[in-house]
Amino acid sequence: MKTFFHLDMDAFFVSVEELFAPELKGKPVVVGGRPDERGVVSAASYAARKFGVHSAMPLRTAHKLCPQAIFVEGHMERYREYSHKVHEVLCGFTPLVEMASIDEAYLDITGTERLYGPPLRAAHLLHERVQAATKLNCSIGIAASRMVAKICSDQAKPNGVLMVMPGREAAFLGPLDVRRIPGVGKVSEKNLHALGIRKVRDLAARDETFLEEHFGKLGLALAGKAQGLDAGGWFDTEIGAEDGPKSISHEHTFTEDTADVAQLEATLAKLCEMVGRRLREHGLTAGTVQLKLRYTDFSTITRARTMERATALDTELLDEIRVLFRRNWKAGAAVRLLGVHVSGWSEEGTQMDLLDDPRHERWQRATAAADLMRDRFGDSAVSLAASLRGKFHERAHETPPGLPGKKKTGRPK
Ligand SMILES: [Mg+2]
């Protein structure tokens, strides 16, 4: 029998903002941008949530629901710094730690009784350590599976600890809405409701062939999850055996639609920098780049290109993206959103032949130096010349670059 913790920071972005601006405490706060801007809410304080504001909601909607809210742009570098602090505390507690996003982690604490006592005591100790190191609150769920532990931490919020005793999973899960199950979003919820499945116990009552017929692989995973088991997606890999991200992307929505080619290309340069940096942080090189382009009328195209050789260099990504852009943009048509997406990895270091190319090597050295500057002074400290005009703040989003612990590879040396 295993024992897992799921530790989730409470209103993480907002709480970090409050550390630097205590006057925000207890007030409705929205992180993500100005109230009149396009783009979405990254995080909302508990006081703002009472008005119905939640993350991923358009900023303008949040403003309508809660006009008195304080809107802040957010400080990605601070969130990252505090995420690293949390990660450090967790790694000092047990070696089996997996960050699931910037502010939550799974810990396998099986066999730590002699060190920390029973799981509830261990959780309180860990809670104190996180609080001491960061001055931030978190909630911890404890269960025999990660799936149930995650649901527990959610039910324990804010600032609580909740444990489901082994064998009591069905009784705990049964009365919960299906939406509480990790992996069940709005769409799956609707489809489940259409079949009369509203509570987890309704799901548990259906046999897995029925669920597989209706939902395929997801259905099988749901059958397992309804029993309190780790099944499907995230849970198919052991803690510590995670193989890193499947793709990396960044997008930018313009405050005003633009057809200014210089501004569009500068924005692409900035996006390539952000994507390139994340590739290097994961120690990966990408074989495929994809451009996403959305016009004023919301019509959207994506065009991909497989590169001759995989790369993690901003300049080489940009060369490819520029080709895609120039080929596919309806010249003169105003653009609402641009995105750069990369996939098709190989681990870096397997391509020794690249060192033969002096241009590539020069860029590699320049990029490494720029990364060091960005680590010290923030992401806006250094830019490729081409991206200077495309400067925009890195928006806070759920899985930013530099997420600790989610990868085996670490930063390339
Ligand atoms: Mg959280």
Please state the length of the chain. Answer: 413
**pLDDT grade, residue 161 (50/70/90)?**
very high
Which residues, at least 6 apart from 4, have a Cβ–Cβ distance to it below 8 Å?
106, 107, 108, 109, 110, 142, 143, 144, 145, 146, 149, 239
Q: Identify which of 179, 158, 152, 89 has the alpha carbon closest to the alpha carbon of residue 126.
A: 89
Is the pLDDT assigned to residue 401 strictly greater than 50? no
Specify the pLDDT at position 377: 63
Q: Average of pLDDT values for 38-44?
A: 89
How many Å lie between the centroid of ligand 1 and the Cα of residue 8? 5
How many Å lie between the centroid of ligand 1 and the Cα of residue 205? 31
Residue 6, Cβ density class (10 Å: 0-12 exposed, 13-18 middle, ≥19 buried): buried
Question: In percent, how much of the chain has pLDDT > 70?
Answer: 83
Question: In percent, how much of the chain has pLDDT > 90?
Answer: 58
Domains of the chain: 1-145 (3.30.70.270), 171-236 (1.10.150.20), 247-390 (3.30.1490.100)
Rounded CA separation 268/386 (Å):
9
Q: Average of pLDDT values for 220-238?
A: 79
How many Å lie between the centroid of ligand 1 and the Cα of residue 165? 23
Q: Is 104 designated active site? A: yes
Give backbone dihedrals phi and psi of 39, rounded to 5 degrees, phi first: 100, 175
The number of CA neighbours under 13 Å toward the Cβ of 279 is 35
Taking only the tens place, the pLDDT of each residue in 120-154 is 999 999 999 999 999 999 999 999 999 999 999 99
Among 17, 104, 169, 273, which one carries the catalytic annotation? 104
How many Å lie between the centroid of ligand 1 and the Cα of residue 168? 25
Neighbours of ion ligand 1 (CB under 5 A): 8-9, 12, 103
If one compares 243 and 278, the residue with the highest pLDDT of the two is 278
Is the pLDDT assigned to residue 397 strictly greater than 50? no
How many Å lie between the centroid of ligand 1 and the Cα of residue 70? 20
Is the pLDDT assigned to residue 67 strictly greater than 90? yes
Find tokens 């897995």 and name the residue: 208
Taking only the tens place, the pLDDT of each residue in 272-317 is 999 998 888 777 888 889 999 999 888 889 999 888 888 889 989 9
- Concatenate the DSSP letters of all residues of 243-292 into one string: ---SEEEEEEEEEEEE--HHHHHHHHHHHHHHHHHHHHHTTEEEEEEEEE
Is the pLDDT assigned to residue 218 strictly greater than 70? yes
If one compares 360 and 49, the residue with the highest pLDDT of the two is 49
Is the pLDDT assigned to residue 365 strictly greater than 80? no
Find tokens 């532990």 and name the residue: 149
How many Å lie between the centroid of ligand 1 and the Cα of residue 101? 9
C-alpha pair distances (Å), 168 with each of 99, 141, 148, 228: 26, 14, 11, 9
